[in-house]
Amino acid sequence: MWRDPRNPERAEIAFTVADEWQRKGLATLLFSILWIEGRESGIREYHGTARRRNLAILHWWEGIGGNIRTFGRHHEFSFPLESPDSFLQKVAFEMPPSPERVVLADWLAEWNDLSQV
């Protein structure tokens, strides 16, 4: 993650999951770690870009509840980092929650518990 020098509460994130590891939840695991680490360091929003042809990231980002804007040949993503407890509460009462949000909530609960120790 790279903190925006003009707005230290905002940071860009990027990660790549190798083909053989895709669709196994690794991006969700990585994002949950970045969520906890980012919140602890004062970050309140993540953003990033992806090529328009990258439908997998588009589907995943929508699934976790991120915001997406499409421009020409790329997508711009953003995700506000609320407190993990607030996110877990929301997911618990969604009807029905997306599978990606459920997995993210599970990981967040795990990492949040560990960060409290």
Q: pLDDT tens digit string along 1-55?
A: 999 999 999 999 988 888 788 778 888 999 999 999 999 999 999 999 999 998 8
Domain count, the chain: 1
pLDDT of residue 105: 93
SS (H, E, C) the chain: CEEECCEEEEEECCCCCCHHHCCCCHHHHHHHHHHHHHHHCCCCEEEEEEECCCHHHHHHHHHHCCEEEEECCEEEEEEECCCHHHHHHHHHHCCCCCHHHHHHHHHHHHHHHHHCC
pLDDT level of residue 116 (50, 70, 90 thresholds) = low
Domain that holds residue 40: 2-115
For position 43, which CATH number holds? 3.40.630.30
Q: pLDDT tens digit string along 52-95?
A: 998 888 898 999 999 999 989 999 999 999 999 999 999 999 88
